Amino acid sequence: MSTTAFKGAFINNAWVEEAGASDISVDNPATGKCCGTISALTAVSANAALEAAKSAAEGWGKMSMNDRATAIAAYAAKLRAHREEIVALLIQETGKVTGNAEYDFDMLPNCLDFHVEEAKRNYGSVIPSMDGGALSYTKYSAVGVVAAVLTWNFPILNLAYKLGPILATGCTTVIKPSEVTPLATSRCIELITGTGIPAGVVNCVNGTGLALVQPLCASKIPRLLTTIGSSVMGRRMIGYGATSIKRFSLELGGDCPVLIFADCDLEAAVNDIVGLKYDNGGQICVSPNRVLVERSVYEKFIEMAAAKAKGYVHGSGADDGAVLQPVCSQQSLDRLVGYVDDAVAKGARKICGGAKADREGFFLEATILADTTKDMKCSCEEIFGPILTVQPFETADEAFTKANDSDMGLSGYVYTSSLATTLRAEEELMCGNVLINGIIYSIELPHGGVKESGYGKDISHLSLRDYYEIRRVSIKRSGM
């Protein structure tokens, strides 16, 4: 298999090499073999990229909405013309199945289209004057330079969630892709050349988080720091950013609870939860982490979930049937096996799976652990892998107490036919996304967490608020 290389940083619409920078190998998790390389850049490149974004900010921010929309549309069209190439890169660096990789890619041009249309309708407000002495209104202006740190599970979707509102609002940016999956992201970013988006509006620095996140965040140039990543990364970015007053938009870790009540459509619940758990190798921030099942249907749920889990085969690329993708690295695989061993040692029942699949690559068997408890790592840490944990509850009070017993609060799922339980979930479940009787995610729906899962919103019209300054303008009436 041929490999793909991106040398240096993408600054002012060109790749600029950094003297002395070493290479980082990018491995295909389905084979464990190298599929590409990037440069391990340092603060030198980070600072140069920030300066380029700063220089481009005024011109891009003052460009008319129509002109920005034309340039962004040209970029979206160019991306779509390269769809097959980019999907192939995604499959190589992530081990995704084809349908998953296509969904990942499609979010980028779709987000570019969506956020431009939302920005066109982001109207200010006229504020009545109490004494009639002034005309006052609100005005939206681009925040300015945005430093964006992305994670590896959905490389292009994560880019889309940030780049859509950045470009639509007139901001400029420096993107730091994950060093685990930087290839498709780098290719998407370099395709911005020749689209009418000026040089310096979008810049990209590759390398490790330890080398780049601190200089990107500590610089006084960016006005907004944003990420899709772990809570640990979010806290680091807040700390590094304290050199100046900055804004933050953070979508952080998930510890997502699922509440299965006995009165629900159990088959539908099993299909939803098992499907979401094993999608993308379990590496989804909104993946079910703690499944709480009412005692009277507890064993039935486990039986039905296990029957579906045992139907999964391991693979990458072709996605006929139930295909379980690899996890991102050997380190991640070892961590997940450690979760299983820890849970079993503390009394959990291993219903199925729990070991590395007998094949090349970083594949874990589809795993179900029953009777999990709070003292097990898999019940109090974000799993981010194909391990479904299940525990019983007796009453609704117990279910909601356990569901909220977490520092995280990204998504929570409830399955019930009771209106009273539904309304209680809407009121009590402390998650940024509360989903009742279905897995419901879409570009027009605000996405974000509470508590340690961050703040700010991705996608939907609400995401634009993070990238705008809202200014009040008042004009005194003559003679008043």
Would you please indicate which residues are annotated as catalytic (active-site) residues?
Answer: 251, 285
Q: What gap in Å lies between CA 302 and CA 165, rounded to an integer? A: 42
Residue in the block written with tokens 């490389």: 155
CA distance 186 to 300: 47
Q: Which of 348, 338, 266 is nearest to 308 (CA)?
A: 266
How far, in Å, are 162, 225, 284 from residue 289 at the CA level?
25, 27, 10
Distance from the Cα of residue 290 to its chain's centroid: 20
What is the β-pairing status of strands 172-176 and 126-127? unpaired
Sheet holding 9-11, edge to edge: 14-16, 9-11, 202-204, 172-176, 145-149, 224-228, 247-251, 454-455
Rounded Cα distance between 305 and 320, Å, is: 20
Q: What is the DSSP string of 41-110?
A: --HHHHHHHHHHHHHHHHHHHHS-HHHHHHHHHHHHHHHHHTHHHHHHHHHHHH--BHHHHHHHHHHHHH
